[in-house]
Chains A and B, each alone.
Chain A
């Protein structure tokens, strides 16, 4: 039997944003949950990749492996994010090389051993936790390009009532009768809406259904940006942290998500 909970917190990609992780964890402790999960992509983008790990351990966070974690864990050549644009790949590679170089052997082993999916129960419902999609760690499931029919198929194939993932960087939730797909958002960077806060998700059992709540997290983003600069990470990334607008990785956004931003 999969472990059963009433109320959990799901953290999406951390992207080395240990300051946002600290804020989120203390917020979660204040609200109270049975268990905290992290859906993968611990590194990327931000500074000092080793700093998120002690926090995850201290708060007993159960982790899933993202594409980035697989890459760092195995010291692969790139992050497997799936960008198609040469400019996106250029910036992605800078932060990947930095992250790989600055992640300790011990933490790389930890990443390497993480499971790719976890099945749990929330109340009576079967819930599958994954990174991109249940079938592919780096599949982008955007709100505007994922049909109900496809989600229904995923629920059937995986015999579950809910699927929770991350990977795209933008949260969303869709309920189809009593089944749910949730993208938990990410703590690593703001979600291209002009606000500097980031997001995590609380999911709880409610009258034999699920209640899904997205929680905004404020943190010291100026400090994060300063530290990224001192580590010589791309200015474009710092700009995203300071403005809340994405400046890179734009080519993978579908029309609707792209129009919502300014770049």
Chain B
């Protein structure tokens, strides 16, 4: 890796979130904006086993972790996914990011029982990228809108209130309108108090082909970090586990320098934010966290950072 003295370095403050790339890069879909080029055939990262996850849950517990996130690919392609979530719920809150197209009723029955018995929340985050098939399917694939909607209906039937996440492929002016349309659509299919979160696009992976990649000018500098609240960045309070080891953040797993260690404790080291995606994080803040755990920058922290 080229080291550049003007590249800002981030030091992790505390391991608040531990992520698991639980399905590796395997996905039943092949969205054209996927930032890690997941597909049915991409096996560059593999599934994590229950046993492997359990070991890392323990390690993270010793470090005072606050909550756990599961992503892929599509987590529910992992045959042990339901057991992994049930095991996790004994130790802390769990969030799973799914495309909701492969969910089965018997899995959701088990998860709903486990979630009620746990003191912790089980959150489903469902990616849908348009409020109808016409807007969603060109991005996520033919028929995916209807299949995801059926998944949402199943979740609602089992007592979950999934957070619908949509990557913003429209202009800012259209934002409110899109949210309203989304709300209307979701209510019409029986989800009467929908939760919606809009995400920025990351110009990498498949998205690089859909629009454009990051350029050399899209880089953070030390000047940009003056007075900036570091806690807005995922790498300030999170790590992600893949079958290769522990990486700095869920966004960069495919870049070689993101791999920090084979265990969590040793992965809590400084990291050079030298990537284009870092600029997106900088602009949009804690894009991967649930709203219930998002910090807003405060006046008090701001003044601490600048003195």
Report A135-158 CB contacts with B as 1/0, cut-off 8 Å.
111111011111111101110100
- Given contacts A144-B93, A251-B195, A255-B160, are A149 and B298 in contact (CB under 8 A)? no
In-complex Cβ contact of B176 among A71, A86, A145, A257 (8 A)? A86
Confirm or deny: A252 has a beta carbon within 8 angstroms of a beta carbon on chain B.
Answer: yes
Instruction: Give B172 Cβ to nearest chain A Cβ, in Å.
Output: 12
Assembly CA distance A82 to B91 (angstroms): 26
Q: Shortest CB–CB separation between residue B142 and chain A, in angstroms?
A: 31
B298 touches A136 (CB 8 A): yes
Nearest CB on B from A192, distance (A): 13
* Contact yes or no, A136 B160, CB < 8 A: no
**Beta-carbon nearest neighbor of A145 in chain B:** B93
Query: Chain B, 91-120, contact with A by CB distance < 8 Å: what is the 0/1 string?
Result: 111000000000000000000000100011
With A70-B298, A71-B299, A258-B161 in contact, is A149–B91 under 8 Å at CB? yes
A93 CB within 8 Å of chain B: no
Residue total for B at the interface (Cβ-Cβ under 8 A): 39
Query: Is the C-beta of A55 less than 8 angstroms from some C-beta in chain B?
Result: no
Of A6-14, A73-81, A102-110, A179-187, the one contacting chain B is: A73-81
Type the 1/0 row for A64-75, where 1 means its CB is closer than 8 Å to any CB of B: 000100110010
Q: With A and B bound together, what is the CA distance between A145 and B119 in angstroms? A: 9
By a CB distance below 8 angstroms, the chain A residues around B65 are 147, 149-150
Given the complex of chains A and B, what is the CA–CA distance between A86 and B178 in angstroms? 13
The reply to whether A147 and B67 contact each other, CB–CB distance below 8 Å, is yes
B295 CB contacts on chain A under 8 angstroms: 82, 136, 138-139
In the assembled complex, which residues on chain B have CB atoms less than 8 Å from the CB atom of A135?
14
Q: Which of B4-12, B129-137, B273-281, B285-293 contacts A (4 or more CB under 8 A)?
A: B285-293
Q: A70-B299, A254-B121 are in contact. Are A149 and B61 (CB under 8 A)?
A: yes
Closest beta carbon of chain B to A175's beta carbon, Å: 12
User: How many residue-residue contacts, CB under 8 A, span A and B?
Assistant: 110
Q: Is A253 an interface residue (CB 8 A)?
A: yes
Q: Can you list, as one digit per residue, whether each of A219-256 has a CB less than 8 Å from chain B (1) or not (0)?
A: 00000000000000000000000000000001111111
- Distance between A181 CB and nearest chain B CB, rounded to angstroms: 12
**Minimum CB distance partner of A84 in chain B:** B291
**Does B79 sit at the interface, judged by CB under 8 A?**
no
A31 to B66, CA, bound (A): 37
* A145 contact from B67, B115, B298, Cβ within 8 A: B67
- Residue of B67, B123, B179, B294 touching A82 (CB-CB under 8 A): B294
Residue of A nearest to B123 (CB): A255
Which residues 19-75 of B have a CB within 8 angstroms of A?
Answer: 60-67
Is the C-beta of A259 less than 8 angstroms from some C-beta in chain B? yes
Give A156 to B66 CA distance when docked, in angstroms: 15
Q: Does A263 touch B at the CB level, under 8 Å?
A: yes
With A144-B93, A263-B193 known as contacts, the answer to whether A86 contacts B179 (CB < 8 A) is: yes
A27 contacts the other chain (CB 8 A):
no
- Given A147-B93, A255-B161, verify A80-B298 contact (CB < 8 Å): yes
The residue in chain A whose Cβ has the minimal distance to the Cβ of B16 is A150
Residues facing A in B73-93 (CB within 8 A) are: 91-93
- In the bound complex, residues from chain B placing their C-beta under 8 Å from that of A145 are 66-67, 93, 120-121, 290, 292-293
A116 in the interface (beta carbon within 8 A): yes
Alpha-carbon distance between A116 and B268 when the two chains are bound, in angstroms: 29
If A147-B66, A147-B67, A254-B121 touch, does A137 touch B300 (CB 8 Å cutoff)? yes
Q: Contact: B64 with A149, CB < 8 Å?
A: yes
Q: How far is the CA of A256 from the CA of B123 in the complex (A)?
A: 9
Contact B91 A147 (CB under 8 A): yes
Structural contact, A254 and B292, CB atoms closer than 8 A: yes
Of B91, B176, B193, B231, most A-chain CB atoms within 10 Å: B193
Residue B209 is within 8 A (CB to CB) of chain A in the complex: no
In Å, the complex CA distance between A254 and B289 comes to: 12
Distance between B113 CB and nearest chain A CB, rounded to angstroms: 14
B292 interface neighbour in A74, A140, A152, Cβ under 8 Å? A140
Q: How far is the CA of A145 from the CA of B68 in the complex (A)?
A: 10
**C-alpha gap A146/B121 in the complex (Å):** 9
Q: Which residues does chain B contribute within 8 Å of A70, judged by CB atoms? A: 298-300
Contacts of A81 in B (CB 8 A): 296
Partner of B120, one of A86, A136, A147, A259: A147
Is B246 on the interface with A (CB-CB < 8 A)? Answer: no
Asked if A113 lies at the interface with its beta carbon under 8 angstroms from chain B, I say no
**Given contacts A80-B299, A149-B61, is CB(A254)–CB(B66) below 8 Å?**
no
Kindly state the separation between the CA atoms of A70 and B291 in the bound complex, as whole angstroms: 22
B66 touches A252 (CB 8 A): no
Rounded to whole angstroms, the CA-CA distance of A143 and B121 in the bound complex is 9
The 3 A-B pairs of least Cβ separation, nearest first, read A153-B64, A147-B92, A82-B296
- In the assembled complex, 18 residue pairs joining A and B whose CB atoms fall closer than 8 Å, in A order, are A80-B298, A82-B294, A84-B294, A136-B301, A137-B298, A138-B298, A139-B295, A145-B290, A149-B92, A153-B63, A250-B193, A252-B294, A254-B123, A254-B292, A255-B160, A258-B195, A259-B159, A263-B193
Question: Contacts A80-B296, A256-B120 given; 18 further ones with Cβ under 8 A?
Answer: A71-B299, A74-B299, A80-B299, A83-B296, A84-B197, A136-B231, A136-B295, A136-B301, A143-B119, A149-B91, A149-B92, A153-B63, A251-B195, A254-B292, A255-B121, A257-B121, A258-B195, A263-B193
